[in-house]
A and B are shown apart, each in its own frame.
Chain A
Amino acid sequence: MSSRKHILIAEDDDFMRSLLSSQFAGLGLTVHSVENGEQAITEALSYQYDIVLTDIQMPLCDGTTVMRILRQLGYDRPIIAMSADEIPTEGFDLILSKPFDAAMLAEVIQRTAPQKSVPLLIDDELTNLFYQNLSQLRQTFEDALKHSEREVMRQVCHKIKGGAASFGETTLAELAGSLQMQLLSDVALDELLNNCNRFLDALSQTGKHDVRT
Chain B
Amino acid sequence: MLEPKILLVDDVDYSRQLLRNNIIALANEKLLHHNTFIFFNANCASSAQALFDLHQPDIVFLDIDLPDGSGIDVLKKFKISHPQCFIAMVSGESTLVNVKQCIEAGAATFIAKPFTGDKIQAALRLFEKRLKQNVNSLNTH
Listed in ascending order, the chain A residues whose CB lies under 8 Å from chain B are 37-38, 41-42, 45-47, 60-61, 69, 72-76, 115, 117-123, 125-126, 129-130, 133, 155, 158-159, 161-166, 173, 177
Asked if B22 and A69 make an inter-chain contact with CB atoms under 8 angstroms apart, the answer reads no
Q: Say whether chain A's binding surface is mostly helix, strand, loop, or mixed.
A: helix
Contact, CB under 8 Å: A133 / B12:
yes
Instruction: Name the one of A118, A126, A165 contacting B31, with C-beta atoms under 8 angstroms.
Output: A118
Interface residues on B, range: 35 or more
- In the complex, A72→B110 CA distance in Å? 10
Residues of A within 8 A of B17 (CB): 125-126, 129
Per the bound structure, the CA–CA distance linking A117 and B89 in Å amounts to 22
Docked complex Cα distance between A45 and B100 (Å): 13
Q: Are B99 and A121 in contact (CB under 8 A)?
A: no
User: B interface vs A, CB < 8 Å?
Assistant: 12-15, 17-18, 21-22, 25-26, 29, 31, 65, 91-92, 94-96, 99-100, 103, 108-123, 125-126, 129
Check A166/B117 contact, CB under 8 A, given A45-B94, A126-B17, A133-B12: no
Q: Residue of B at shortest CB range from A157?
A: B92
B96 touches A41 (CB 8 A): yes
Q: A61 contacts B96, CB within 8 Å?
A: yes
- 7 extra A-B contacts, CB within 8 A, seeds A133-B14, A162-B12: A42-B96, A73-B126, A120-B18, A129-B13, A133-B13, A162-B15, A162-B114
- Contact (A45, B110) CB under 8 Å given A118-B26, A133-B14: yes
A194 to B22, CA, bound (A): 38
B117's closest neighbor in chain A, by CB? A118
A-B contact pairs, 22 of them (CB 8 A): A38-B96, A42-B95, A47-B119, A61-B96, A72-B103, A73-B108, A74-B109, A74-B123, A74-B125, A76-B125, A120-B115, A121-B21, A121-B117, A126-B14, A126-B17, A126-B21, A129-B17, A133-B14, A161-B113, A163-B113, A166-B18, A166-B114
